Chains A and B, each alone.
Chain A
Amino acid sequence: MAGRNESLDAIKTRRNNTLNALVSSVPYIRWLGITFDRRGDELTAVLPFDQKLIGNPMLPAIHGGVTAAFLEVTAIVELTWTAIWEDMEQGRIAPDAAVPESLPRLPKTIDFTVDYLRSGLPRDAYARARVVRSGRRYASVHVEAWQDQRQKLFAQATGHFLMPQDG
């Protein structure tokens, strides 16, 4: 598995299937409409704009709670993706959304702090998370979200998570 000569198709299928299982198994991620773009192990979360995401209809602006949820979802998926990468590459796990027992256990949020830098415009939003520190029990993750311009963040967040314990 994951050898230098493994076919490109097999590698991509394995990674895409794992990511799809992880994302599609969570009802709330589907309800918000969040998807993930993958380049190698790098993930970018995408939140397509929808009327139901509006928090201030006068401006209009995306709801602060949607922004917080988008950042938290991005952090949890990134953290889980990073944690299972090696097992996935070695073929030790093959998560399937239809088989709950095959899905990786998710980290639990301990706390989450969101910094609202500018109001969320009524258009698509993107986010990337960085695992700053991941120990056996605790992890610290930083997330950035932007819309039109990568350098102009509309929100950022830091969260602490309790990692799932095996057995």
Chain B
Amino acid sequence: MSEASPEDELEQRRRIARQFIEVIPHARALGMHLDQLTGEGAEISLPWREDLVGDPRSGVIHGGVISALMDTCSGAAVMAHPTGARSTATIDLRIDYMRAATPGQTIRAKASCYHITRSVAFVRAWAMDDDEARPVASATGAFTVER
């Protein structure tokens, strides 16, 4: 362990975080795709699908799908943080829904862990559709840090 360079450790962290996403059955079932993962944060996308619609009149995706995406993306950001968590779980998550996501468009979430202590990680996340200037939703959460 002591011979590992910081680069190797960072790469290992990313691998753990990537696996963390890929083995989550619910993330796979929703069709999430991990686009980016660095010590700075995570980006995950989720294509629109008819069976995820929450309002049959408009075709807008359900808020619960956005919650699952933000929660997963936030968890990935915690796992990828350089201080190294072995595992994490959500303590609390607040989502603000600013506007309806445009039907048919992929939703992309970005999360970053802006503060971490020995046992708690504080995370902020955003969700966007094709119009990146106007976020669909924002989230703020607290997560456990299992060392």
Tell me the A residues contacting B by CB distance below 8 Å.
Answer: 25-28, 30-32, 51-58, 61, 63-66, 68-70, 72-73, 100, 103, 105-106, 108-116, 119
Tell me the B residues contacting A by CB distance below 8 Å.
Answer: 23-29, 50-57, 61-65, 67-72, 75, 87, 89-97, 100
Which residue in chain B gives the minimum CB-CB distance to A106?
B55
Residues from chain B with a CB closer than 8 A to the CB of A110 are: 96-97
Q: Complex: how many Å from CA A166 to CA B97? A: 22
Given A56-B24, A100-B57: A65 and B91 within 8 A (CB)?
A: no
Residues from chain B with a CB closer than 8 A to the CB of A61 are: 89
Residues from chain B with a CB closer than 8 A to the CB of A115 are: 92
Residues from chain A with a CB closer than 8 A to the CB of B65 are: 28, 69
Given A54-B26, A119-B89: A63 and B97 within 8 A (CB)?
A: no
Least Cβ distance of B119 to chain A in Å? 15
Is there an interface contact between B89 and A72, defined as CB atoms closer than 8 Å? no
Is there an interface contact between A57 and B23, defined as CB atoms closer than 8 Å? yes
Is there an interface contact between A65 and B95, defined as CB atoms closer than 8 Å? no
